[in-house]
Amino acid sequence: LKREEAMGGGNGAKSAKARSKKMALANSAGGASQLKQNQASMSKICSICRQPFHATAKRGALEEHVASKHSKSAFKDCFPNEV
């Protein structure tokens, strides 16, 4: 036997096995993408331009949107549920 054939199971084999195991787990769980969860969390919507914001968006970010996009409108006109 050659030395390479007698040995085996080196770092390359361990890495390949770990990589294939990780891919199988990701495929069985629907992948690692969070795009659907991110879209679902966009619950704050500007009434004027309909731009969505994450549910965790702070009032400061919403006020910045109003100031930059709708300077002639009041905050309550854009986000009536946030007042």
Please spell the DSSP secondary structure of 18-70, one letter per residue: HHHHHHHHHHHTT-S--HHHHHHT--EE-TTT--EE-TT--HHHHHHHHHHH-
**Residue 48 pLDDT:** 95
pTM for this structure? 0.55
Successive 10-residue mean pLDDT values, the chain, 83 residues: 58 86 75 75 91 92 95 94 82
**Residue 26 pLDDT:** 74
**Residue 29 pLDDT:** 60
**Residue 4 pLDDT:** 54
**Residue 23 pLDDT:** 83
